[in-house]
Structure formats: structure tokens, C-alpha cells
Amino acid sequence: MAGYFIAAYDVSDPEAYAQYNPGGMPILMKTMMRHGGKPLVAGPGAEWSAGERNAVVVIEFPDTDAAHAWLNDPEYVPLKAIRHAATTNRIEIVAPTFVMPGG
């Protein structure tokens, strides 16, 4: 059953964030694909009931274990640290595909 990494955040330090995006994109994409990740949503402008965030990301993985493996991939962890340091109002979720009870 597929798993999803969902994140929303505001970029608080654009100069530092540039080291992550676009600077870290080759490593981000390589590690994400290594774990079977497929980006579904990425970019600014998502509308939230609690207000807009600068960036929203949804990545589909084969399962939640693969999503966690990507988040903890030793090659990706330094990039994740840059993203965390350069953003605020961050929400990150790893969730499985919904399966209707009894279905």
C-alpha cells in the first residue's frame, strides 16, 4: 500500500534554502527515486484553511517504510537539515493510502 510524504512550510531564509532548492535537487531526486518516490505536488501557492504556505510537497512512495527510509537516507539527511534550518511553520506527515473499512 502506497505511503505519502506531505510537507508544507514557509521559507524563512531564502539564501540558505537555495542550498536545498535548487542547489540540492540532484541529490534530493536521486535519493527520492532510490526509495521509489514519485513527486505528485511541489511548489508555492497552495491554499490552506489556516493560511498559505510558501511551499507544499507531496511525494508518493511504495509504502510508508520507503518514505521513512528516504527521510533517513544518509545522503539526504544533510539536505533535510538545510531545509529544516531555512524554514518555519513546517508540517511534515508520512501517511499510508486510505483503505475504506470493509472494502
Beta bridge partners of 93: 6
The reported pTM is 0.90
* pLDDT tens digits, one per residue of 14-48: 999 999 999 999 999 999 999 999 999 987 766 66
77 within domain boundaries: yes
101 within domain boundaries: no
* pLDDT tens digits, one per residue of 52-99: 778 889 999 999 999 999 999 999 999 999 999 999 999 999 999 998
39 within domain boundaries: yes
Task: Extract the runs of DSSP E, i.e. beta strands, from 1-103.
Answer: 3-11, 38-43, 55-61, 87-96
> What residue numbers bound the domain in which 13 lies?
3-96
> How far is 31 from 21, CA to CA, in rounded Å?
15
For the chain, the domain total comes to 1
Say what the pLDDT of residue 67 is: 98
CATH number at residue 35: 3.30.70.100
102 within domain boundaries: no
41 within domain boundaries: yes
